[in-house]
């Protein structure tokens, strides 16, 4: 973020010269053991008997879901639950017919407290009311009912606080949902706008399986050349898609600009949270100044940039090089792949939990 510098938590291990395959679960398992084995052991022992609540905060497309997924991959789905407020609301909305006949609905109506009636809140959820916004109190009630079934799991909460006036709710979230006396932690992700912009502008999606990739930063195993339109394109890796051409989503060519208001609001919330006292914070950065990269990270941990050209046989050749960009403070930087960011999160969690 402009004017702020999160600390660099390096992953280099003295004497470890091995390169790990970060694209496979097996390779990542060996990588995490080599880079943070002791911390993972301490945290695993803690999670055998305890849980905590972590609030994921970051700008849109900052990688919250990816980091939560990798953390779950390390410690197990039986111990970790990634709860996306947006996904929860959309799921309840999409399945309202069955949800409204379930015991969860009865519990939702029982625990709801708010400034508008329960019926008005439901109308806001279903879009029947264009004048009423879905109140925070209703979202908290949805979360409370959902989390009852997650007892014994650590929660990574994505989507609260979503507005500046929800920050105070998050401070007492564990009490509001009766989720034991768990430690609560804010996990803040600093991602430059240049990274978000490139992730959006070069995003492509398979029209069949809806898998997303990025033509510049996260390619598939095969690329082809469209001779008529003179453009390179990615081919979906999913065998069932039978070589489907991955396509750009409408509007993605505009990059970050359509979501600029959301980006500004996300940063405002993060700055408010950084000023809070009394709750631990884990500070993640997905980038590192280019001049500092080799000091803190191995080359394969840096996000590569991909390009394409035709060889003498008219076959597509993939060109790979480190991706550089200017961060929000104008510093020439490299982006980090998700695994080293997760290593940083694990090391900081061990510290703030006192393990």
Domain that holds residue 265: 25-79+152-352
Asked if residue 163 is part of any domain, the answer here is: yes
Asked if residue 92 is part of any domain, the answer here is: no
Asked if residue 158 is part of any domain, the answer here is: yes
b/e per residue, 44-70, with b = 16+ CB within 10 A? Answer: eebbeeebbbbbbbbbebbbbeebbeb
CA-to-CA dists, residue 88 to 11, 74, 186, 274, angstroms: 34, 24, 20, 26
Q: What does residue 75 show for φ and ψ, rounded to 5 degrees?
A: -105, -10
Structural domains of the chain, count: 1
Asked if residue 145 is part of any domain, the answer here is: no
User: Is-contact 185 280, C-beta < 8 A?
Assistant: yes
Asked if residue 320 is part of any domain, the answer here is: yes
CATH code for the domain of 263:
3.40.50
DSSP secondary structure code for residue 102 in this structure: S
Q: What is the pLDDT along the chain (355 residues), one digit of tens a residue?
A: 888 889 999 999 999 989 999 989 999 999 999 999 999 999 999 999 999 999 999 998 898 999 999 999 999 999 999 999 989 999 999 999 999 999 999 999 999 998 999 999 999 899 876 566 788 889 989 998 998 878 789 999 998 888 877 888 787 777 776 666 789 999 999 999 999 999 999 999 999 999 999 999 999 999 999 999 999 999 999 999 999 999 998 899 899 999 999 999 999 999 999 998 988 999 999 999 999 999 999 999 999 999 999 998 889 999 999 899 999 999 999 999 999 999 999 999 999 999 9
CA of residue 1 relative to chain centroid, distance = 17
Q: At what angle do helices 25-49 and 64-75 cross, to 10 degrees?
A: 70
Asked if residue 133 is part of any domain, the answer here is: no
Distance CA 111, CA 117 (A): 12
Distance CA 242, CA 152 (A): 42
User: Is-contact 81 156, C-beta < 8 A?
Assistant: yes
Asked if residue 291 is part of any domain, the answer here is: yes
Asked if residue 47 is part of any domain, the answer here is: yes
């Amino acid at each position: 973020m402009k004017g702020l510098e999160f600390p660099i938590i390096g992953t280099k291990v003295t004497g470890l010269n091995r390169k790990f395959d970060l694209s496979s679960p097996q390779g990542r398992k060996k990588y995490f053991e080599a880079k943070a084995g002791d911390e993972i052991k301490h945290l695993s022992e803690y999670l055998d008997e305890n849980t905590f609540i972590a609030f994921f905060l970051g700008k849109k497309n900052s990688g919250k879901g990816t980091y939560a997924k990798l953390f779950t991959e390390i410690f197990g789905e039986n111990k970790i639950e990634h709860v996306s407020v947006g996904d929860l609301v959309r799921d309840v909305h999409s399945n309202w017919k069955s949800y409204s006949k379930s015991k969860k609905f009865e519990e939702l109506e029982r625990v709801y407290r708010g400034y508008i009636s329960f019926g008005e809140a439901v109308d806001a959820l279903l879009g029947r009311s264009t004048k009423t916004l879905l109140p925070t109190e209703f979202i908290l009630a949805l979360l409370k009912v959902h989390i009852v079934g997650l007892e014994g799991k650590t929660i990574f909460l994505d989507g609260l606080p979503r507005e500046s006036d929800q920050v105070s709710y998050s401070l007492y979230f564990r009490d509001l949902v009766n989720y034991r006396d768990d430690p609560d932690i804010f996990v803040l992700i600093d991602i430059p706008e240049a990274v978000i912009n490139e992730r959006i502008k070069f995003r492509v999606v398979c029209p069949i399986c809806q898998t997303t990739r990025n033509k510049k930063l996260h390619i598939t195993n095969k690329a082809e050349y469209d001779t008529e339109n003179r453009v390179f394109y990615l081919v979906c890796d999913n065998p069932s898609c039978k070589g489907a051409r991955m396509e750009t989503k409408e509007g993605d060519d505009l990059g970050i600009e359509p979501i600029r208001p959301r980006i500004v609001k996300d940063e405002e919330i993060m700055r408010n949270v950084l000023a809070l006292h009394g709750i631990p914070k884990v500070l993640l950065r997905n980038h590192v100044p280019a001049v500092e990269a080799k000091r803190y990270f191995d080359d394969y941990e840096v996000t590569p940039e991909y390009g394409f050209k035709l060889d003498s046989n008219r076959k597509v050749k993939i060109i790979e090089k480190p991706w550089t960009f200017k961060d929000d403070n104008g510093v020439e930087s490299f982006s980090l792949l998700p695994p080293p960011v997760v290593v940083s999160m694990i090391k900081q969690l061990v510290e703030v939990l006192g393990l």
